[in-house]
Structure 1
Amino acid sequence: MDDSTDDGVAQALYARMHSRGESLPEAAQSLGLTVEEIERARDQLTRLNLLNPGTQTAVNVAAALARTLQRSHRALDRLVEQHVRTAALAQHYLDLPRQAGGDAHVEFFPRADRARLNQRIDELAELSSHEVLGLQPPANWTRETLEAGLARTKVTLGNGVRVRALYAQISLSNPLIREYVGHWRQHGVEVRVAPVIPTRLLIYDRHTAIVQADPDDLEAGAVLISGASVVSSIAAIYDYCWMTASEPEDVPGSPDGSDLTDQQRAVLRLLATGAKDSAIARSLGVSTRTITRLVSELTAALGASSRFQAGVRAARLGWLD
């Protein structure tokens, strides 16, 4: 049934209700309307303010028109008010960072201002139009914080923005991080890992960056830097780190304490120092053949090309913590 037919049914129903004082169910029954016709007519009359939802009776056309005009006036008033606010924002606030310090603008968020920093991060993620880059050093993540980050990332990805994240290899020793790496990649986030991530960093559209204030203290606050001339240089450093990083599947997972024995940990520590099998065997009081077998197994598990590389890689992955 097309719109003109729906209009005709609604008009006939309203005319009967208005002229005979019948309720909508009564008029619909008298006209022999189907359930579908009744629902479409009810929706039509409700939109036109010609139906009292409570009593299901007709509303006078003049009263409905007055009510509709009143609502329109209120909507128009709100629109005009919004226009005035937008004009004031553009005129008085849009250029403040540029006026205050040329192309670059710096803002410090102390630890006590974490809520305001999180709000700023949410705003930047929502306003990004091209790319979001992240450096994430090891931290005490919880499922709640990771879920909040995933929700924010979904919004960014939904806007067609490319999202890249670099994590420290040692972070993959955390089963929770490995789980969420899977979630991020499933939703379209590009993830790579590197042996060392020196600090926490977020870059938005190569114009705004948020960097950890103190690389040695995650709780020391953060610094926001805006300005393409400055942030583009920071982004270039990020690009180099990204180019030299590894895909997560190329990094062996770290076993938990029940899988890695004390003897294996001791062997790996000595391997990292460059010790020979015979020296390791004497140190641990076992045969050289046993050490040779352990070294072979551990090197294969780590995907290392040499004994020394196996020890170094194990240290970077946190296997020796």
Structure 2
Amino acid sequence: MGGQAEIGYRALLTRSRWQPERLEHALAWSPDQGATVLAELRGEGLVMNSAVEAGAVRAIQPCLALPALAARRLSGGPMPSAAAVETFVSLHEQTTGRLDDACPLSDMDEVLAVVERLAARVRNEVVILAPLYDPRSYEFAEHIAEGVLRRGAGLRALWRTDVSAVDYAVWLGKRGHTPRATSNVPVRAVVVDGLVGVVLNEAGAGRVIRTENELRSLVALADGLWAQSVEVSQVPKGRPTRSRHELVLRMLAQGLTDDAIARRLGVSVRTVRGDVASAMVELDARSRFQAGVRAMQMGLL
């Protein structure tokens, strides 16, 4: 990011949302300067519209946004340094603090921030229960789903049958994770790895849950509903898609040789070696294996 863009992003992270004119006043920016910076941040996937307040914007959490930015630039464009990403995310996480049920989430912007942080840490699976359609919420946020799938985790989206989100269902289906629907979804929630979840009330406020009994009940409910659900209709099935650069990095982390990677991808060894060399430079890595490991640490995989 440019200097002013980073200043703006850091400022945006200090609140759940900002009206542009208030941000401009806080940073002594002109309206034109503010509009330019926000446009840059939007283009980089670091800022989105508030889900709560018309005209306001919110920062996407860096643990999810910065790895996504780096992943988009793997095949071209200036790559953010691995050390810079790790430091930025670490400092923000320390400032934000631990996620626990002591801090209620008062609105959807706060819920989004928490779900983004959880999605950035997933190891196995995210389960989403959606009894209603809200295009501004985490259940239908492509950047959150992308973050989950980029980490190689599963994503089970379970909707009530009257939820109408065909475009998003198609988008998920093309990535090999077609949503399913059932007649009754009695709770609005998300569960990550069966270890932590967020439950929302009718007003869209939420709370983080970590207690074993609550999580066990929620997972059992989700499993039962999933078993009786059907795939959302008119959604073409697809296979998960990844760029060649991401696949090369994942295989590097697994310790595969250039020849083995080339055979699996159906490309020349020379192409693989070029990808490996680029990845080592972009990720500040001293070895092939370190490049793969660092990519995983940054959340690129």
Scaled by the length of structure 1, the TM-score of the pair is 0.40
CA radius of gyration, larger in = 1
Scaled by the length of structure 2, the TM-score of the pair is 0.43
Larger relative contact order (Cα-Cα within 8 Å, sequence gap ≥ 6)? 2
